[in-house]
Amino acid sequence: MNVEEIKQRFDESVASQVDSPTAWPVTKEKLIEALVTVGIDEETAKSMFTSADPAIQILHQITNGYKDVLLVLDDDAASITPWNNANEPNWTGYFEGGNVRLALILLVLCAKCYPLDLETAWGENISFYVNAGWQKKQYGVTY
């Protein structure tokens, strides 16, 4: 797995531009593999399924201590936005039908795959998306 495959799998705007986009079941094992691909150690990646803390700590590092940004959590979605406008996300992880931990995993992957200068970024709206219900129906995957 590489970063381009991760982008094709989770970023619908990239997938729509590729003749045969990467399509694999979004299992816990594949998410761990993707996290390791972007530089997260395997034990930390595994722990992200039971605790939000590892993802929050990783995002703390990526955002330079959440300087001038907000972490916005909403059930099955998580975003990093400019500090003064939570409606203009730079990165979003949306794990529809999942939970906040799964959304944070997608957010970490999104931020790692699309580095931004957060001092100048505004409403970049880069989003990683998974539909948990479709994954279960199509592949039998449960979280």
**pLDDT tens column, 20-34:** 767 789 999 999 999
CA dihedral defined by 109, 113, 114, 117, rounded to 10 degrees? 80
Sort residue 78 into left (φ over 0), alpha (ψ -120 to 50) or beta: beta
Q: Is residue 141 part of a domain?
A: no
Place of tokens 């691909």: 37
Q: Is residue 143 part of a domain?
A: no
Q: Is residue 140 part of a domain?
A: no
Total number of residues shown for the chain: 143
Q: CA 24, CA 96: separation in Å to the nearest integer? A: 17
Domain carrying residue 46: 3-134
Mean pLDDT, rounded, for 95-109 = 97
Q: Tell me: the pLDDT tens digits for 42-52? A: 999 999 999 99
Domain count, the chain: 1
Q: Is residue 13 part of a domain?
A: yes
**Single-letter residue type at 108:** V
Q: Look up the pTM and report it.
A: 0.94
Of 101, 100, 71, which Cα lies nearest the Cα of 83? 71
Q: Is residue 14 part of a domain?
A: yes
pLDDT, averaged across the chain: 93
Q: Is residue 7 part of a domain?
A: yes
The C-alpha angle 99, 103, 60, rounded to 5 degrees, equals 125
